[in-house]
Structure 1
């Protein structure tokens, strides 16, 4: 089924460009366009789109405010933030409200297509999980899922160049734990720190090992930063590298990758910023 999409941006050229890309690549049907935040939550509730492409900065209300209001009214679709904002506090707030995907200005067709294709896959997975979660799975099927998950994770870790990193077993346990939650209930929400605590408890129960939370968290973050650095190197060498295209936007902020890529040979190169939950959620999406 084609996805229903609402576009909210005060720049008519941006709206036209997004509509063109969506229609050209058969990514869905644009059912409504808005030029400001006024009445946006009401329109979203009425149209009930699968996806809302929403500008960060809008007249009347900003994108985050509209998201909060829409979710409060019961909207359960997906938001993609359109942004040229560099303020990390504002971007972090958007992540906290549930945004896992950004489209950066100026609009790039490859990025829009990649974001929407991954998001559409996410929606399909959620709906499939909703059907499956009430179905009794026998032991052989469960074991098959477990084996497939292991194989998929090894391939992803290998693609990202982190398969041999210290602590990769910790990351695998975290991702496997979240996958089990999602397979039971695709709408399950969680705080990453709570997942870390549960995995640490499992270590204590199954292996009799006591693990410090801070050390555990730092190991995971080091691995994510390593994957980020590897991705930046790939993109700098070949922007159309298939591994780069497959993982860069779903696991990281593509704008942050571009910033680091542009400074790789500069003297003022800085450490990139990563969102650990986005990284983990992206891998979960790839595996489920």
Structure 2
């Protein structure tokens, strides 16, 4: 399972030990580390890692306040606290603020790996449950959406959102970015399936960022847009794969498993959902966008 880690530890030796444990045992990717609490808060909001390994006692701002600040910001981060503190009151306070596990120093490699594996399993199960909930919401949204339409020839935006609803990601943060990118590509060239190949993804994301700033006065950045888009498409892949696991003859699975994704990657995601593999499927942003464009043009 691909997991992003962030380490907050003022002891460089301990920081390096945790880094080696994660890398050597293929537990995931380290997206950042810091011995500065305020910098760590900014980094976590930016990178949105899955798991944060955090010391309780830090200069200027302690670990509990960092956990509280991140939770208040709405970031869905899982915290594992690693400290030599033995005070039951302090540990209880840390749990109340939202940490998942508390590990005592000195570092025990087996314990760290075991705890991380438990948190990873919790994350995996949460994602599976969420994907089913999103799929159900998507079906409900599509039903409401269809019943309110008296004509099949509605606008491009409506047709794009219809596809996103079928995929169960209409409410995801990156879906608006996907809609805007496709609408802009359609504006540029009627032969949109070919025109997307003219652009680099970085160029599309930069254009969208400029458009948000100029037309809507919305402050964003290219990296944030790309992250939102990739997360939304990854969620769509998980939803489609889960539908295939439940029913290989599901219409949404049949329609989109190969048109919006590489089917080999869908199979990988299905094996992951069944617990047969530790590797998830990968996405192609361009194939996904091109597939939606082909789909909506065929509906005309």
TM-score using structure 1 length: 0.47
Which has the greater radius of gyration? 2
TM-score by length of 2: 0.45
